[in-house]
A and B are shown apart, each in its own frame.
Chain A
Amino acid sequence: MLTDLTITAAAGALRRGDFTARELTQAHVDAVAALNPRLNAFITVTSERALEQAEAADAALAAGEAGVLAGIPLAIKDLFCTAGVRTTAGSRILEHFVPPYESSVTANLLRDGAVFLGKANLDEFAMGSSNMTSAFGRVENPWKRVGDAEAMLVPGGSSGGSAAAVAARLVMGATGTDTGGSIRQPAAFCGLAGIKPTYGRCSRWGVVAFASSLDQPGPFARTVGDCALLLGSMAGFDAKDSTSVDLAVPDFAAACRRGVAGLRIGVPREYRADAMPEAMERLWRQGLQWLRDAGAAIVDVSLPHTKYGLATYYIVAPAEASSNLARYDGVRFGRREDGHDLTELYERTRAAGFGAEVQRRIMIGTYVLSAGYYDAYYLRAQKVRALILRDFTEAFGQVDALLTPTAPTAAFAQGEKMDDPIAMYLNDVFTVPASMAGVPAMSVPGGLDAQGLPLGLQVIGRPYDEETVFAVSQVIEDAAGFSAMPAIRAGVAA
């Protein structure tokens, strides 16, 4: 089936003329039409535009001028502004917002010929780990527990729509953004590869901001190699983003073939959750064995401030968000609720426009920055953040990469953990430290748990050394031979 191909395979086939980009896109358009009503992976579907882009890709392929992603159907997280296409950030407050500009990352993908099938669902303003906070409805994880066709699982979050769409074969790859795990955790929950590159590797220009010092775009795909292709297109210096790093984009695909012989892989002893399932523990040990078998040395390391990562994150991210989201005030764009004066207009607009979780985080962020509390919360969190970075810096003095679980558990069911924000936040316990430190980290599927749900391993690398992350991830992918497929996917009646 066309929809089961990898990007790498499809790109080769398109160049050989095995099929056209139009045919490839049509197959995915049909899959979206068939399955999106159930999965709700897309907020906005742009089939017509996609087919036009596919035809342009066919023309470019015929002319021998095709970019590396010519004709490859992708989903774009609805946090990336897309010129002329509604961009909602999963929020009522931007329900009808049509940006007149294209984000730098999506512009790079378009430059390379990619086809955009639509805007993928997400937690509102990327605040969530389950995709339950989207104003446009929850997303269903296409995976099912063995023997339980009823329970609807979450795809993870915040880039849950992107992950569900790639897993269900509605697209071949997708963009996500990762602030505290929003690419890696949904990748793990949906059996995908997904990488959060080093902070500064992908431009944030045109990406709706959640927490500016943490937000980082990255790709999802069904293989490590496909992620390498996508990231190679998405990444690159952008003068419009002051935090973008002016470094050449390496050949990530080539890095995937490096192997791990001679590498030192660290096992951080603090990455153990209290109730981590045995299957996760086993997979972690297995992952280390695969790397040892491929010639890597395994080294125990300590990241002593790991356990403070989440608390630090839940100060820093809401603080930045409280400020970043102040612009949604009903004056220049977005939803507006009238008021008899300016303050009432603001208060009613923002109460109606933001969902409960976003409001909660704005309030927390406002509080931790407010007079009298700044030092105790925000300033202290920034210091702990410095210690977390120091942990990584010291570990990377001994090892080339770290291997950890991506999340403490496999995907949970919709409705679980909803009453307890903190239980929900704990999903990010293993992903947040790399975000705080700004270092690259990738989730790669390693196997299934007892219920048949995918589990992910996380590979963390040195700043700007995504190449080693890809090399390690590729070895795991090859060794794991992960071939399970979700119950709900293109061509399979759900």
Chain B
Amino acid sequence: MSLDPATVRRIAKLARIRVEAGDVGRLQGELNDILGWIETLSEVDVSGVAPLTGGAQIVLRLRADEVTDGGMAEAVLANAPDRVGAFFTVPKVVE
């Protein structure tokens, strides 16, 4: 599987990374090199193998339903690049 320029642009869009038109070719080459290399996995026989989804071989722990967090709007907002009062802001979203 090899990426064409349109796919590079689509991935960049999905990843929300601006790619200048002049960089698409370079990225295409780099990504295809890496993809070509990981292609070696296609030679492994994985029939009947259950995928390993996580690093830990344990099951999920649950926590009690208690309010133990929040109530600190200032701390949550302290690093905000832009805010109005107790709100974060973004350029106006039109739905």
List residues of A whose CB falls within 8 A of some B CB.
96-98, 100, 199-200, 212-214, 216, 239, 242-243, 245-246, 305, 307-308, 311-312, 314-315, 322, 326, 329-336, 338-348, 350-351, 354, 359-360, 362-364, 366-367, 370, 373, 376-377, 379-387, 389, 421-422, 438, 463
Contacts and interface: CB of A to CB of B under 8 A. Distances in A.
A280 to B, nearest CB: 23
A394 B31 CA distance: 35
Given A339-B91, A384-B41, A421-B34, A329 B16 contact: yes
B74 to A, nearest CB: 9
Given A243-B54, A367-B3, A383-B49, A342 B17 contact: no
A381 B35 CA distance: 13
A336 B30 CA distance: 27
Contacts of A314: 34, 37-38
B69 to A, nearest CB: 10
Given A308-B41, A335-B81, A438-B56, A347 B17 contact: yes
Contacts of B12: 347, 363
Given A363-B15, A363-B17, A334 B31 contact: no
Contacts of B41: 308, 311-312, 315, 377, 380-381, 384
A305 B45 CA distance: 11
B58 interface: yes
Nearest to B82: A336
Interface residues of B, number: 52
Nearest to A101: B75
B1 A376 contact: yes
A376 B55 CA distance: 21
A363 B90 CA distance: 24
A409 to B, nearest CB: 19
Contacts of B75: 100
Given A342-B91, A367-B11, A383-B50, A100 B78 contact: yes
A360 B31 contact: yes
Contacts of B92: 341
Contact of A351 (B17, B38, B63, B80): B17
Contacts of B58: 200, 243, 245
Nearest to A305: B44
A386 B49 contact: yes
A340 B91 contact: yes
A181 B64 CA distance: 36
A417 to B, nearest CB: 14
B56 A421 contact: no
B60 interface: yes
17 contacts: A97-B79, A200-B55, A200-B56, A239-B63, A245-B58, A308-B40, A311-B41, A329-B16, A334-B79, A335-B81, A340-B91, A342-B93, A360-B34, A380-B41, A383-B44, A383-B52, A463-B57
A62 B31 CA distance: 59
Interface centre among B31, B41, B79 (most CB of A within 10 A): B41
B30 A360 contact: yes
A245 B12 CA distance: 37
Interface in B42-73: 42, 44, 46, 49-58, 60-61, 63
B17 A350 contact: yes
B4 interface: no
Contact of A382 (B15, B35, B52, B81): B52
Contacts of A379: 51
